[in-house]
Structure 1
């Protein structure tokens, strides 16, 4: 089974007391909500390709209709799934 895990972080720049710029990782509630939607969308795409029961299809359709962000994330995850299927697996060169 294929599992995808992706974490997205917002990096904010700030200046410390010495005047140097530092990076700070920020995970606010909006970012966490977005991450959860993305994670759920990826899970649905994986489940869809493993075969869904009629009840699961209804659950997926309900989730997609719940929020436009759900549809957007699902469409992006579906495109990613298709693109990765077009990329041949890496095969290291044979040693002579």
Structure 2
């Protein structure tokens, strides 16, 4: 068997085995990269759902989840994400707290 008019294959069985293993290893490498690409993406928004209790305010909830973030920035993010216009929340409301 001659490949591309340049190479002569002496042992067809070994050539087929080599091609199979080459294609298998390339496929596994591509699949691994594709599978881990979304797993480590930082663009995926993450939220925690919080049910508002009696006496809760946006400030008190944001202070629990702020960490290193400025509380005012987190309050703004919560307001935008939950379409809260007048900073009014009521007991029983479920709001999304952005975590990233």
Q: Report the TM-score range of the alignment, normalised by the length of the smaller protein.
A: under 0.3
Identify the structure with bigger relative contact order (alpha carbons < 8 Å, sequence gap 6+).
2
TM-score, normalised by the number of residues in structure 1: 0.28
Of the two, which has the highest radius of gyration? 2
TM-score, normalised by the number of residues in structure 2: 0.27
More helix by share: 1
